[in-house]
Structure 1
Amino acid sequence: MAQPPRIAGPVAQPRRPRIAPPPGAVDSHAHLFGPEARFPYAEGRGYTPPDAPLESYLALLDQLGLARGVLVQGNAHGFDNAVLLDALERAPDRLRAVAITDTRIPAATLRGWHRLGMRGLRFHEHAAEAKPGYVRGVGLEALPHFRAVMRDLGWVVQVFCDHRRLPAIAEDLAAISAEMPVVIDHMLTVPAARGIADPGFQALLRLVGEGKAHVKLSGAYRLSKDFPDYRDARPFHDALLAANPNALLWGTDWPHTSIDAAVMPDDGALLDLFMDWTPRAEDRVRVLVENPDRLFR
């Protein structure tokens, strides 16, 4: 049987940011992978990452001057969140996490995860014309199974959403936001060439402006082909910041899955980019400290 393709790993020695982040700053989106000998990768995955273990991630936080991080289950580990639970047990003062799971998991298990520091579940919404040919999470159709316990625990509903899909589910997300926070990944990953007039991005701006969705100002390199400065992604960042800085988070997206080694972003450069694109000190504090504190406690 053909093995899933091996992908490149992150920059081994990212540079220190030019401007130190504010005290208490949070990386709100990163993944852990392996070590494979202890945390095997899932059958049916779409890629095989090099190991990106907890020790490497904590070293990255230190290098960037970040106090804490929010880990998000990576698809290479499927529905087995053991790598996250282990990290939460080992670094409880620095980490929170968001899981991916299916409806076989009972409410009692989620409550146990909460005590360790789990703070949400991630769902994937794919456009009909772009569904992956491998197992990649569950859609929002699984949310009713979890909704009551997530509401009781104050968890976030995190959504990796295709920009073409958002207009059709925007009202559903607004309704969910009345019960628990909704967080959209990576500025909706709209191809930068489409511009901010893209219908999906405009639907996102309305949700953000009305306080019905939070967005991660992460993955500029996933929108852009303009390595390493991603200038064509800046209008998306600027529009979201103008819409509602109280609804924004920032994350490295380390270790940058499925990015070619030739255009692998430097995490220090990504933090510099955020600081350059977010010039007001009060906005930096909101995005890096106050908003993640509120959502992930």
Structure 2
Amino acid sequence: MSIFDEPKIDTHCHLLDPDHFPYAPDVSYKPAGQEIGGGTYFSHVMNTYGVHHALLVGPNSGYNLDNRCLLDAIEQSHGKFKGIIVVKNDISKEELAKYKSQGVVGVAMNVALNGVDYYANTRALLGHLADLDMFIQYQVEHDQLNQFVPMVLNAGVRVLVDHCGRPTVAEGISQAGFQAMLKLAKEGFAHVKLSGFYKFSQKGYPFLDTDEYQNVILDVCGLGQCIWASDWPYLKAPYRLDYGPMLKLVEQRFTLEERKVLFWDTPKKLFGF
């Protein structure tokens, strides 16, 4: 069986469909060209690569707080999709509960884009998510995650960390942000997405300078706290990327049995597909 035929759950991808869901007027970046991909086209991508389910992530690019495109895709998917959305920091528990009833499993905080200070007063939000058994998803870089560990531990909220935590490759595995991610994982709070290597690699595909970080994540977290994601359609990528070559990297690193855990068993249980 080809890796393209193995059943998969993609735990981080975006839908951008400005023809049907125009971009918000106040967003700082409006994806165009090959960055655009709506639900209809993504269904062909899924069929090509054996993807049975996907966790859609609301992008700050294009939509930011506008979750209509994502929610519509979930509603039309007959159970294939669930979502992570972008919300105001002061959203109420009642609003979050309504989103949960629509197939949303968590909230995204793009600290790498908005900065640490933007999310400084989010203790109440983390508490609401914990009460509702939903996730907080952090996209961070460098040492940013270190600032959120006390709040996470205090709230007892479940955490998803995007793209291996986007460490600074030159600073090694001892850097504070990377260690903060490992701490959350070791204490049972975090799952780490093995994805987005182009966001922190300095060498480009096949991202050989990220191997050390992946190895440490797997050693510390174990395969059961890692999930795979494509990051399709590769917003703001500095060079050409495609779904198939990303999967080939997984094939080279993991056995068939390990891929079943990474692609299917863990995300199916984690997100209730």
TM-score of the superposed pair, with normalisation by structure 2 = 0.88
Partners of 2:186 and 2:136 in 1: CA distance: 18
Instruction: Output one character per residue of 1:83-127: Cα deviation in whole Å (capped at 9) or x when no partner.
Output: 11100111032111000011564433333322221111111335x
Gaps of 5+ in 2: none
Of 52, 75, 80, the residue aligned with 1:67 is 52
Of 147, 164, 178, the residue aligned with 1:187 is 164
Q: Does 1:222 align with 2:199?
A: yes
Worse overlay, 184-193 or 83-92: 184-193
- Once the two structures are TM-superposed, the CA of residue 145 in structure 1 deviates from its matched residue by 4.0
Match of 2:148 in 1: 169
- Once the two structures are TM-superposed, the CA of residue 218 in structure 1 deviates from its matched residue by 0.7
Q: Does 1:160 align with 2:139?
A: yes
- Once the two structures are TM-superposed, the CA of residue 187 in structure 1 deviates from its matched residue by 0.6
Percent identical residues: 26
Q: 1:239 to 1:106 in 2, by over 3 A?
A: same
Match of 1:200 in 2: 177
Worse overlay, 89-98 or 112-121: 112-121
Q: Is the 8 A contact 1:26 1:68 kept in 2?
A: yes
CA RMSD of aligned residues (A): 2.4
Aligned length in residues: 267
Q: Does 1:120 align with 2:120?
A: no
Q: Does 1:285 align with 2:260?
A: yes
Partners of 1:44 and 1:219 in 2: CA distance: 26
Partners of 2:145 and 2:160 in 1: CA distance: 13
Q: 1:181 to 1:82 in 2, by over 3 A?
A: same
Partners of 2:96 and 2:12 in 1: CA distance: 20
Q: Is the 8 A contact 1:187 1:237 kept in 2?
A: yes
Instruction: Output one character per residue of 1:44-90: Cα deviation in whole Å (capped at 9) or x when no partner.
Output: 32311123111121211111111110000001201010011100111
Q: Is the 8 A contact 2:52 2:80 kept in 1?
A: yes
Q: Is the 8 A contact 2:126 2:152 kept in 1?
A: no
Partners of 1:137 and 1:275 in 2: CA distance: 39
Match of 1:46 in 2: 28
Q: 1:90 to 1:220 in 2, by over 3 A?
A: same
Partners of 1:201 and 1:21 in 2: CA distance: 33
One-letter amino acid of the counterpart of residue 30, structure 1: C
Higher relative contact order by CA 8 Å / sep ≥ 6: 1 or 2? 1
Partners of 2:119 and 2:22 in 1: CA distance: 24
One-letter amino acid of the counterpart of residue 27, structure 1: D
Of 211, 215, 221, the residue aligned with 1:238 is 215
- Once the two structures are TM-superposed, the CA of residue 213 in structure 1 deviates from its matched residue by 1.3
- Once the two structures are TM-superposed, the CA of residue 155 in structure 1 deviates from its matched residue by 0.9
